[in-house]
Chain A
Amino acid sequence: MAATQEEIVAGLAEIVNEIAGIPVEDVQLDKSFTDDLDVDSLSMVEVVVAAEERFDVKIPDEDVKNLKTVGDATDYILKHQG
């Protein structure tokens, strides 16, 4: 069954917490991965790969650069999840 927006944000929060050590409660829709959550371009790849596995979605390299905020990633996963 497809994940809801809430479930996706919660899942991304766990992933960001594991990769960058950011508290899960800080991971909100309006937060920028780079500026607010200490996720640099390489960690972002790790976040993307973990999200692909968790939500059964493919996020190609050329789309990764458009995912600036947690909201961008959530919308992308909502739209593309299998």
Chain B
Amino acid sequence: MAKIKPSKGAPYARILGVGGYRPTRVVPNEVILETIDSSDEWIRSRSGIETRHWANDEETVAAMSIEASGKAIADAGISAEQIGGVIVSTVSHFKQTPAVATEIADKLGTAKAAAFDISAGCAGFGYGLTLAKGMIVEGSAEYVLVIGVERLSDLTDLEDRATAFLFGDGAGAVVVGPAQEPGIGPTVWGSEGDKSETIKQTVPWTDYRSGEVAKFPAITQEGQAVFRWAVFEMAKVAKEALDAAGISAEDLDVFIPHQANERIIDSMVKTLKLPESVTVARDVRTTGNTSAASIPLAMERLLATGEAKSGDTALVIGFGAGLVYAATVVTLP
């Protein structure tokens, strides 16, 4: 039998650069109140959200991704031609064929990088990061771009008082590359398809096309069930990720949970008993819930404001529709 030569990868992987793009239009709660019977106080007390960004026609999924990626590539100090893989996590790119990752890879100037989209909801960034790490350590790419991007305003029912205020648009990207020391810990991830009804698109596109339903599909969720799962089940997953990486809560500098709702963040911090010394991302206040984009966007902001610094140890955890989740400990770029 012929012997197949094995591929040769890097010993470890780490995040080398991060970039974000927030759409130019800032939408305060007052605008949301034009279509739902609620109040600014109610929205803030239930979610912590004060403003969010909504994309305009030019701020497409591809355009926002290219902006965020350009910054991440510059931050990593590499050139686009060195990128061997582009992974895009999104649920709100409405032209599913071809994958938007291919257009992004081309427009960024990569040298025919492998490019594909994944669908893992609000856990998409962690799923993408795990794939990127695998590709680098296995040797099929030296540098991989992981992008989380959403235009959730297109999937928001502005008349649903439980969700109209929640969602925002934007893109976050990281460059993952080779390292001599581990910069991305073991991922604790999984799915719970038995809870698929808790967060979902209201109806399939085909029901809308056939006229079976008149209302464009939107994301809907069972608030209390999601809250319970996110706070209490995800705190266990976060703890497992810390244990798997051999990091104690005291060793941790930064906590970047998916920016779903500030109440979830507060309760997770309490349940995890994180020490006061840990910086907690609260980007949701001015960005809303941007699903797969929320973790890299929050990471970028913490580094830009100086609340976190390069080399800090951060716990990241994404969780959402599926239900799916992914948690890992990373060294910040």
Contacts and interface: CB of A to CB of B under 8 A. Distances in A.
Interface of A: 40-42, 44-46, 48-49, 61, 64-65
A40 B45 contact: yes
B225 A42 contact: no
Query: DSSP majority for the B interface?
Result: helix
Interface size class of B (residues with CB under 8 A): 10 to 19
A43 to B, nearest CB: 8
B266 to A, nearest CB: 10
Interface in B41-58: 45-46
B228 A40 contact: no
B205 interface: no
B223 interface: yes
B28 to A, nearest CB: 22
Query: DSSP majority for the A interface?
Result: helix
A44 B224 contact: yes
A46 B271 CA distance: 10
B191 interface: no
Nearest to A41: B224
Contacts of A65: 224
B103 interface: no
B45 A45 contact: no
13 contacts: A40-B45, A41-B223, A42-B46, A42-B223, A42-B224, A45-B224, A45-B227, A45-B231, A46-B231, A48-B228, A49-B228, A49-B231, A61-B222
Nearest to B42: A40
B231 A40 contact: no
Contacts of A61: 222, 224-225, 228
Given A42-B223, A45-B227, A61-B225, 17 more contacts: A41-B46, A41-B223, A41-B224, A42-B224, A42-B263, A45-B228, A45-B231, A46-B231, A46-B267, A48-B228, A49-B228, A49-B231, A49-B232, A61-B222, A61-B228, A64-B224, A65-B224
A49 to B, nearest CB: 6
Contacts of B46: 40-42
